[in-house]
Structure 1
Amino acid sequence: MENQADNKFTWVIENFSTLQSQVVSSDEFVIGGCKWRLLAYPKGFNKSGYFSLFLEVADYKSLPSGWRRHARYLLTIVNQNSGKCSKRNEANKCFDHKIPGWGLSAMLPLTKLHDEDSGFLVNDEVKIVAEVEVLEVIGKLDVLEESEEANQSLKRIKLDYDSADSINLHKEISPVMESIDVNGFQVLPSQVDFVRRIFEKHPDIALEVRPKNQYLRKACMNFLLSLIETLCQSLQELSNEDLVEADIALTYLKDAGFKLDWLEIKLDQVKEKKKEEEINEARMQELEKELMDIKKTCLDMEALLEKEKANMFAARRASLTLEDVV
């Protein structure tokens, strides 16, 4: 069951406990002139033990070469008992043919999801809300917005394929979403402070960046910001797949000429912490098992003790009579 209002899409997964598929998808929905869909893994992505949730460009296989969507999104698994306890994942990402979907493989532990008192699974239904703000589109829109206000809600770069000899770039720039130059990189107003802070702490970060085209440089900067956001997630939210993707992203940016020794150190630290977390979790599970075994042994010993007490009291009561002796 789905429902959509403005830039918000609500998806209710019914009969959740009886789902057999590894992945289920919502109906397509349109926000910012782009078609999207939600992908959920009821048993966890790669059997991770967590409910996994992703936002994906619905028709990415049919889009022309070079397409990209830059969007800010908020995915929420609604706690139907208390909205404050809902599980959320907010990010600012670039979607393209290499990575058409973003989300979290470790969105919510399955044990917590299936806990009848948790509030996430009510009447065998899981409620998910996706809020999407499209910031930039490279390539044609999937659906043309009817209102002028909607047309100006994002910055669009349309690729004109009418001519076989050339590709003409047409830009429609909304004053609200106008890019701002920060050290030679065009960034969104919402990104300015963050990017300036990066250059203040690491002034030599982009001295040897090879791409000179402003759109490629902008894409690289968005890639860098997404990588930093990934590393800022909690260890519980951060999966090993995320760390593998972070490694790939770091290599890509270094190949483009970014000086990211400091970020590589941070990534190694996060990897080490994630490894420690997994070791601690495994050790905790071992201790819990040992404790359960000890408790079982204690219960068995208590039962044996009670049996011996009963035998002792029975023996005391069974005193011999004179006739038994004589």
Structure 2
Amino acid sequence: MVAGSQSLPYGWRRRTEMYLCVVNRVSTELFQTKGTYHWFDAKDFDWGFTSMLPLDKIYDKDGGFLVNGDLKIVAEVYVLEAIGKLDVPDGIGEESGSEKMVEEDDGAESNDLLEVSVNESTDVNGFQVLPSQVETMSRIFERHPDIASKFRPKNEHLRTAYINVLLSLINTLCQSTQEISKDDLTDAYASLSFLTKAGLNLDWLKEKLEKMSEKKEKQEAGEKRMQEIEEELKDLKQKCLNLEAELEKEKADVSVARAPLSFDDVV
């Protein structure tokens, strides 16, 4: 919701970039994150995400989202363009971030296991990652040092969530074209768009994804042609068998025709 929207002049508009993250206390890899751009105005000043996470996942006592009745939600909003009066000079973006604990009394007993963070994180270039991810992240920053130079989210949980999406995307591209489906590639392009909109410099990854898509197209085209050739070969083999049978029959007929008549046959 745009604060003070009723006092803004006629025709006001705000172009924003928004990020929302539902924190999971068991694993950072289970964070649920969404991000988008949106224009707010007098008729549309309280827009938001209509869905984020199924209630059964939130209330799952071992799911890691609801701990001792608390649900942790992180949000960041950036004003990219403002039309109408603003409390800051034109051209300067507004930035707001919040981290809230939403209390939910579901009547369930607290899970002591969740009170302690299961996964200790390690800082790699300003990003909190799992120990198992440190080597991968270090190699990424070594090869692409400017990857996060324009990355906007500042909240630790949001940054971690985006990195998890990035690592998942990289793992997808490490699969063979036989293992990856077209739906996987569609999801990969959506993830890439999600990450680049947040400011990550991923031109190199886009190039790899395009090459993977080309390889997938070649694989499917090749498999289709292979199937066509196999069908043609099957028909040819059957034709050969038919011709061989016909040849044997002709040989038998010729053999009979060549045989000389016996005395009894003549007389």
Determine if the TM-score, normalized by the shorter chain, exceeds 0.5. Answer: yes
- Residue 48 of structure 2 is matched in structure 1 by none
Q: Structure 1 length as normaliser, TM-score? A: 0.51
| Among 208, 211, 219, the residue aligned to 1:266 | 208
The answer on 1:227 being equivalent to 2:169 is yes
Conservation of the 8 A alpha-carbon contact between 2:151 and 2:199: yes
- Residue 259 of structure 2 is matched in structure 1 by 317
Q: What CA distance in whole angstroms lies between the structure 1 residues aligned with 2:203 and 2:141?
A: 14
Shift of 1:241: 0.5
| Among 189, 195, 199, the residue aligned to 1:247 | 189
- Residue 142 of structure 1 is matched in structure 2 by 60
Equivalent positions of 1:122-161 (< 5 A) are 140=58, 142-143=60-61, 158=67, 160=70
Equivalent positions of 1:1-16 (< 5 A) are none
Per-residue displacement from partner, 1:201-242 (whole Å, max 9, x unpaired)?
Answer: 100000111111111111000000000001001111100100
Q: Structure 2 length as normaliser, TM-score? A: 0.61
Q: What CA distance in whole angstroms lies between the structure 2 residues aligned with 1:192 and 1:287?
A: 48
Shift of 1:66: 5.6
Alpha-carbon distance change, 306 to 95 in structure 1, aligned in 2, over 3 angstroms = farther
The answer on 1:278 being equivalent to 2:192 is no
Equivalent positions of 1:286-301 (< 5 A) are 286-301=228-243
Name the amino acid aligned to 1:168. M
Per-residue displacement from partner, 1:99-139 (whole Å, max 9, x unpaired)?
Answer: xxxxxxxxxxxxxxxxxxxxxxxxxxxxxxxxxxxxxxxx8
Per-residue displacement from partner, 1:287-309 (whole Å, max 9, x unpaired)?
Answer: 11111111111101101100101
Figure out how many residues of one structure are paired with residues of the other and give that number.
188
Task: Indicate the RMSD between aligned Cα atoms, in angstroms.
Answer: 3.3
SS at match of 1:194: helix
Per-residue displacement from partner, 1:69-89 (whole Å, max 9, x unpaired)?
Answer: 6989xxxxxxxxxxxxxxxxx
Name the amino acid aligned to 2:204. W
Name the amino acid aligned to 2:188. A
Conservation of the 8 A alpha-carbon contact between 1:179 and 1:186: yes
Q: What CA distance in whole angstroms lies between the structure 2 residues aligned with 1:217 and 1:97?
A: 10
Per-residue displacement from partner, 1:123-167 (whole Å, max 9, x unpaired)?
Answer: xxxxxxxxxxxxxxxx8561359xxxxxxxxx8774736xxxx94
| Among 101, 114, 137, the residue aligned to 1:195 | 137
Conservation of the 8 A alpha-carbon contact between 2:169 and 2:188: yes
Conservation of the 8 A alpha-carbon contact between 1:93 and 1:226: no
Q: What CA distance in whole angstroms lies between the structure 2 residues aligned with 1:167 and 1:93?
A: 20
SS at match of 1:181: strand
| Among 153, 164, 175, the residue aligned to 1:211 | 153
Higher helix share: 2
Higher strand share: 1
Name the amino acid aligned to 1:142. D
Q: What CA distance in whole angstroms lies between the structure 2 residues aligned with 1:167 and 1:323?
A: 112
- List alignment gaps of at least 5 residues for structure 2: 1-19, 35-56, 72-98, 104-113
The answer on 1:168 being equivalent to 2:86 is no
Relative CO higher for 1 or 2, CA cutoff 8 Å, sep ≥ 6? 2
Identity, % of aligned positions: 48
Q: What CA distance in whole angstroms lies between the structure 2 residues aligned with 1:71 and 1:238?
A: 28
Shift of 1:313: 1.5
Q: What CA distance in whole angstroms lies between the structure 1 residues aligned with 2:207 and 2:153?
A: 24
Name the amino acid aligned to 1:237. E
Shift of 1:317: 3.3
Conservation of the 8 A alpha-carbon contact between 1:179 and 1:188: yes
Shift of 1:316: 2.6
Conservation of the 8 A alpha-carbon contact between 2:21 and 2:158: no
Q: What CA distance in whole angstroms lies between the structure 2 residues aligned with 1:254 and 1:311?
A: 78
- Residue 80 of structure 1 is matched in structure 2 by none
Name the amino acid aligned to 2:60. D
Q: What CA distance in whole angstroms lies between the structure 1 residues aligned with 2:185 and 2:171?
A: 12
Structure label with greater radius of gyration = 2
Q: What CA distance in whole angstroms lies between the structure 1 residues aligned with 2:32 and 2:249?
A: 71
Name the amino acid aligned to 1:160. D
Q: What CA distance in whole angstroms lies between the structure 1 residues aligned with 2:246 and 2:214?
A: 47
SS at match of 2:128: strand
Shift of 1:251: 0.4
Alpha-carbon distance change, 266 to 210 in structure 1, aligned in 2, over 3 angstroms = same
Shift of 1:96: 4.1
